[in-house]
């Protein structure tokens, strides 16, 4: 992070297993990005990645904190959860690999594209995970990636 001041900072809690509210944070982020006036294709990739990260907390973790810093030319997102962590990150990035339980698959999730889709949508993705403790996802999105 630099000294540059964000236009807007957003911090919201995410509850693990709460499918009723799942997506509320990403929806709020989408509204803010639209109000700031980002072009729709940019907002779309930020929001899809945010939603994947939010759903990962709801599906896999016990609780999490979603933070977004919105600057004029970029968005920085950090999603920090308390949860089981990811034992094999390389495997988790493989498209089609998923540890989601059957009830999640019945909802249409857990096809194993979450992490790879977050990587595709963001300009920088970093994952710090500790088994038995939790996972932190850090993503950057640049309006004009150089």
Partner 1 sequence: MTLREVKEILEAEVLACEDLLDREPRSACGSDLLSDVLAFTKEQSLLLTGLTNPQVIRTAEMSDLIGVVFVRGKRPEPATVELAVMKKIPLLATRLPMYEACGRLYMRGLKGCSEVE
Which residue(s) pair with 63 in the sheet?
15, 82
CB of 4 to partner 1, least distance (A): 27
* CB distance 77 to 49 below 8 Å: yes
Cα–Cα distance between 35 and 62 in angstroms, integer?
32
Q: Taking CB under 8 A as the rule, does residue 64 contact partner 1?
A: no
Which residues from 42-61 bind partner 1, rule CB under 8 A?
44, 47-48, 50-52
Torsion angles phi and psi, residue 134, rounded to 5 = 160, -175
Q: Taking CB under 8 A as the rule, does residue 113 contact partner 1?
A: yes
Cα–Cα distance between 13 and 21 in angstroms, integer?
11
Q: DSSP letter for 67, please.
A: E
Which residues from 19-38 bind partner 1, rule CB under 8 A?
19, 22-23, 26-27, 30
Of all helices (H) and strands (E), which one includes residue 135? strand 134-142
Count of residues touching partner 1 (by CB under 8 A)? 25
CB of 20 to partner 1, least distance (A): 8
**Region near partner 1 per CB under 8 A, out of 8-16, 60-68, 83-91, 108-116:** 108-116
Q: Taking CB under 8 A as the rule, does residue 40 contact partner 1?
A: yes
Cα–Cα distance between 52 and 55 in angstroms, integer?
5
- Which parts of this chain interact with partner 1 (CB under 8 A)? 19, 22-23, 26-27, 30, 40-41, 44, 47-48, 50-52, 107-114, 116-117, 120
């Amino acid at each position: 992070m630099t000294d540059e001041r964000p236009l807007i900072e957003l911090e919201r809690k995410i509850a693990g297993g709460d499918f009723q509210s799942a997506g509320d944070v990403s929806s709020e982020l989408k509204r803010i990005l639209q109000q700031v006036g980002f072009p729709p294709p940019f907002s779309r990739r930020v929001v899809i990645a945010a939603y994947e990260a939010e759903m990962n907390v709801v599906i896999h973790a016990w609780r999490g904190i979603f933070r977004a810093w919105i600057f004029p030319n970029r968005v920085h997102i950090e999603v920090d959860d308390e949860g089981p962590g990811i034992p094999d990150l390389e495997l988790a990035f493989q498209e089609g690999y998923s540890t989601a339980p059957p009830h999640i698959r019945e909802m249409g999730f857990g096809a194993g594209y979450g992490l790879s889709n977050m990587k595709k949508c963001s300009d920088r993705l970093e994952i710090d995970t500790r088994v038995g403790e939790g996972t932190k996802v850090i993503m950057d999105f640049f309006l004009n990636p150089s």
